[in-house]
Amino acid sequence: MHVPSPAVHSSTDNSLGSDKPLQATSAGIAFGLSQCTFSYEELALATNGFSNSNILGQGGFGYVHKGVFPNGKVVAIKQLKSGSGQGEREFQAEVETISRVHHRHLVSLVGYCISGDQRLLVYEFVPNNTLEFHLHGKDRPTMDWPTRLKIALGSAKGLAYLHEDCHPKIIHRDIKASNILLDSDFEPKVADFGLARFSLDTDTHVSTRVMGTFGYLAPEYAASGKLTEKSDVFSFGVMLLELITGHQPIDKTQSFTDDSMVDWARPLLSQALENGNFDALVDLKLQKNYNSDEMTRMVACAATCVRHSARRRPRMSQVVRALEGNISLEDLNEGATPGHSRVYSSFDSSSYDTMKYNEDLKKFRKLALESQEQGTSEYSGPSSEYGLHPSASSSEGQRTTQEMELEKKKSDTKISDDSW
């Protein structure tokens, strides 16, 4: 099936400021490569025969190896698992879609390889691990506030480009800290977009991929199994909460063991925006070393992004402008003073039914846990250091197997968008 290639704009005037996307052919040129297709032998040579010593990570799509070409250029080579059922033409159409997407805050696809039933994707190598590693890794130094703000803003720009400057728009569907790669200057690059059709999730009704992403899932997914660009916005809001609080979305060592970080944070977000006191919310490791105006903007963005109602969440371009300080928080919050809008309240039944949402979420959590116990070890294990885990990225309208199975199994828990 042919997938239309997203139109790549030469400039962006709605959200991304001076961060203009590169021309579609720039990836290969930038890497000094004369072609964007590679032979299997070339990639085997670059990875020392796909040596285990070069493995960067493993996920639902397969292994990711570090590769070095003869000219010294370093890449990340994703070896997709066999048996996806994709023909050569369909694979090339999918790759063409991804390869036309270029932005400084998105991981660029350099090229690909088709050899028999082998399918490999070649990406630029991003050398400084993931946001998850630096924010939550054991014995890692505290990430300072300017770095956290830089990562939030850059990631927002990359996601805004996928949503608003690609045609058709691309829904990532797996925004999380482990999918934000960092370069040597801690500039972020969003990874793993546009890959839903390369996933193999046929052997479990809810894959470990979903379990690993549980804390980022939007309410509408727990209710219906459907994801939109506003689901990406919710996930981004959770990631903002990570940057603000230093907590993980699901962390049994924290006080929100029985609920998500979002439920724990919502009343604190409202209080902080009302009184300007962030002490109960902000990561203690920062020791109050942050700019209060910048913190106010990020807290307001997080609060609007994690609204229960998908329709009332902002566009990513609005989030970018708010983080930059280029729109008022009243504009971000639909004209209401931050902290006084009903959307910040966890108990406003006129906007959504919180108890119903929590019931759905608990059912989904139970379903995911059962699936994890029944699933194979292939999808289990700790997060990859490189951040290239199983993900559910996709162009608009694509749905994965576990989503359809989830919707079928949870038909008795569906609720309408009007109730969120």
* Separation between Cα atoms, residue 8 and residue 23, nearest integer Å: 8
Evaluate whether 167 touches 3 at the Cβ level (below 8 Å).
Answer: no
Kindly report the backbone phi and psi dihedral angles of residue 10, in degrees, each rounded to the nearest multiple of 5, phi listed first. -80, -15
* Separation between Cα atoms, residue 127 and residue 386, nearest integer Å: 9
Neighbours of 29 (CB within 10 A): 11
Active site residues: 174
> Residue 147's closest CA among 159, 134, 166?
134
Amino acid at 122: V
For tokens 């909460």, the residue is 241
Length of the chain equals 420
User: Which two three-digit tokens encode residue 305?
Assistant: 């992004």
The strands making up 62-68's β-sheet, listed across from edge to edge, are 55-59, 62-68, 74-80, 118-124, 109-115
DSSP 8-class letter at 420: -
> Residue 213's closest CA among 6, 393, 360?
393
Q: What is each CA distance from 153 to 20, 236, 298, in whole angstroms?
A: 15, 11, 9
* Separation between Cα atoms, residue 34 and residue 71, nearest integer Å: 11
User: Which two three-digit tokens encode residue 151?
Assistant: 């990562």
Q: How many C-alpha atoms does 332 have within 13 Å on its Cβ side?
A: 29
Quick one: the chain helix, strand, coil %, rounded to 5?
A: 45, 10, 45
Q: What is each CA distance from 342 to 96, 100, 208, 268, 276, in whole angstroms?
A: 44, 41, 35, 14, 18
230 among annotated binding-site residues? no
DSSP 8-class letter at 72: S
* Separation between Cα atoms, residue 335 and residue 157, nearest integer Å: 23
* Separation between Cα atoms, residue 420 and residue 82, nearest integer Å: 40
Q: Across-strand partners of 74?
A: 68
Evaluate whether 112 touches 119 at the Cβ level (below 8 Å).
Answer: yes
Which parts are annotated binding residues?
A: 78
As annotated, the binding site for ATP includes 78
